[in-house]
Amino acid sequence: MTTPVTCTARPSLALIKYWGKNPGPGVNLPATPSLAMTLDSIETRTQVRVVQTSNGNLGDQIVIGDEVQSPEAFAGFFQNLRQVLGPLIRANAQSFEPSVGEGPAWAFDVRSQNNFPTAAGLASSASGLAALTGACVASLLRPEFRTPWERALVDQEKSLQEKRTEPLTADSEFRELGRELPGFPGLPGLLSLSALARYGSGSASRSVFGGFTLFPQGSPVAHPLESADFWPEARIILVPLSSARKPVSSRIAMNRTRDTSPYYEAWVNDAPKVAVEAQEALKKRDEEKLGTLMINSYLRMFSTMFAAQPPVVYWLPESLVVIRLAAELRSKGLPVWETMDAGPQVKLFTLSSSVPEILRAVEQALPSVVPVVSGPGNGLQWVKESTL
Ligand code: ADP
Ligand code: DP6
């Protein structure tokens, strides 16, 4: 058994919405590009050990909170991880745990905690699969390589953000830049981690990075655009309206919408334009422009879902209360724009100076709701101590 590794990740909240093209293992490439902010106030913490399975009687095990997960749900993710890392391990045995080389079979033993509701529309799949990727990969490295590798990833994130300036580097070219890690031949770099995370969940490819990210249409990886300190005043106020598991997973909703909504194609055609404008607004830190595009993005996504057969309707009456409240506050001059994901929760984008006034208004409208305020947060982080 190897020393356990703990990795944390935070949800990446889509300001402009991703929708998977062909959801399923390995093929959930984005049909629509997304632009997201990684949040700093809620997180997933995942601990992984590699265990021997010489009798072949123990496969990968994953427990989230106190719920043992069905192995099938993660089979595609682990299979891809082994397929990608296997050749690297064989070619660079000196960097990896000796027990994962030619020795007996091995498996991942995973314990994970989300400090927010799972599968409720708060992007647990984004932080969950990103933290799982970070913890699994680090658990395979020899302990003495882990800290230098983690430090090199921090430097790589900065250098990738710098390379992502005008003119925008083409997706295919950019992918090559971050696949490997300078100074660590054979060890996966950040874009490889993003691609591995994407196998579990599209939005997880973004949570590998901090700050602001882009998941381009058709790309297998997310791109880091700007670090968390690019726009320190940016805030997302999560307004949790229900902690229940959503009735239809986002993946099923994606498939159904793609297969049955007459508006699907129109939305997919329109989305790239919105994403390009949103990138420009982000670069200028133009909250009004970005906020307006955010509203276009989520309402076009939901209009498409409402038109599916059977219709996909995640909204609760309270969702509409918050949407109307945001419109009312905007009409009074407050900078606040809402968005929603596959779930009933509403998320408000604003700037730090307006947070107190917005919170007062939310409390007045929905006294039992406890909003959570987030600034731009970090991507993957590995921690020494763990309470898991
Ligand atoms: P959400 O809106 O929370 O992202 P989804 O239905 O899209 O909901 O995804 C929920 C799924 O994400 C869970 O069923 C589980 O498969 C995965 N997930 C959530 N949390 C974790 C975690 N901590 N570790 C690994 N996978 C997770
Ligand atoms: C509406 O990343 O959860 O929240 O790739 O099937 O795992 P899979 O989907 P997931 O989808 C998130 C969709 C969304 C928009 C977004 O986060 O971009």
Q: How far apart are CA 341 and CA 321, in angstroms?
A: 16
- Sign of CA pseudo-dihedral 68, 114, 293, 229: negative
pTM confidence score: 0.95
Q: Are residues 89 and 151 in the same domain?
A: yes
107 occurs within a structural domain: yes
CATH code: domain of residue 80: 3.30.230.10
Name the strand (E) or helix (H) holding 180. strand 180-181
Do both 250 and 301 map to the same domain?
A: yes
Give just the sign of the alpha carbon dihedral 326, 264, 249, 215: negative
Residues 261 and 179 placed together within one structural domain of the fold: no
Is the beta carbon of 114 within 6 A of some atom in ligand 1?
yes
**Same structural domain, 252 and 203:** no
- Closest to 363 measured CA to CA, from 243, 234, 239, 242: 239
Spatial strand order of the sheet with 381-383 comes to 67-68, 61-64, 106-114, 44-52, 5-9, 381-383
Q: Which residues are bridge partners to 335 per DSSP?
A: none
- Compute the distance between CA of residue 51 and CA of residue 3 in angstroms, rounded to an integer: 10
| Least distant ligand from the CA of 255 | 2
Cβ atoms within 10 Å, residue 360: 10
Burial state string for 16-38 with b = 16 or more CB within 10 A and e = fewer than 16 = bbbbbbebeeeebbbbbbbbbbb
In this predicted structure, what is the pLDDT of residue 24? 55
> Which atom of ligand 2 is closest in space to residue 34's alpha carbon?
18
User: Which of 165, 199, 228 represents a domain boundary (last residue)?
Assistant: 228
> 184, 205, 228: which is the final residue of a domain?
228
Whether residues 299 and 177 fall in one domain? no
Q: What is the pLDDT of residue 178?
A: 64
User: What is the residue range of 90's domain?
Assistant: 5-228
Q: How far is CA 362 from the centre of its chain?
A: 26
d(CA 382, CA 361): 38
Query: Are residue 220 and residue 273 in the same domain, yes or no?
Result: no
Residue 274 lies in a domain: yes
Structure tokens at 320: 């509409």
A 10 A CB-CB count for 310 gives: 8
**pLDDT score for 141:** 95
Contacts of 104 (CB under 8 A, 6+ apart): 52, 53, 54
Cis peptide bond upstream of 317, omega within 30: no
How is residue 173 written in tokens?
Answer: 């070219």
Residues 145 and 187: beta-carbon distance below 8 Å: yes
Out of 12, 252, 341, give the residue to mutate to test ligand 2, the one with the largest number of ligand atoms within 8 Å of its CB.
341
CA of 354 to the centre of ligand 1 (A): 31
Mutate to test the pocket of ligand 2, among 74, 127, 203, 349 (most ligand atoms within 8 A of CB): 203
Give the position, in ligand 2's atom list, of the atom nearest the Cα of 253. Answer: 6
User: Splitting the chain (388 residues) into consecutive groups of 10 residues, what average pLDDT does each group show?
Assistant: 90 95 62 95 96 74 96 91 91 87 80 94 95 97 94 93 64 68 87 93 96 92 94 98 91 92 95 95 97 98 98 97 98 98 96 98 97 98 79
Q: Is residue 369 part of a domain?
A: yes
pLDDT of amino acid 171? 66
Q: What is the DSSP string of 236-258?
A: EEEE----SPPSS-HHHHHHHHH
Question: Is the same domain home to 217 and 268?
Answer: no
The CATH number assigned to the domain holding 345 equals 3.30.70.890
Query: Does residue 176 sit in the same domain as residue 250?
Result: no
User: In this structure, are 114 and 194 located in the same domain?
Assistant: yes
Q: What is the pLDDT of residue 168?
A: 47
380 pocket-lining for ligand 1 (C-beta < 6 Å): no
Q: Do residues 188 and 301 both lie within one domain? A: no
Residue 382 belongs to some domain of the structure: no
Is the CB of residue 75 below 6 angstroms from any atom belonging to ligand 1? no
362 and 254 in a common domain: yes
197 with 271, same domain? no
Residue 239 confidence (pLDDT)? 97
User: What is the 204 CA–ligand 2 centroid distance (Å)?
Assistant: 8
Among 124, 201, 242, which residue has the most ligand 1 atoms within 8 Å of its CB, making it the best to mutate? 124
Q: Closest-lying ligand to the alpha carbon of 258?
A: 2
pLDDT of residue 104: 63
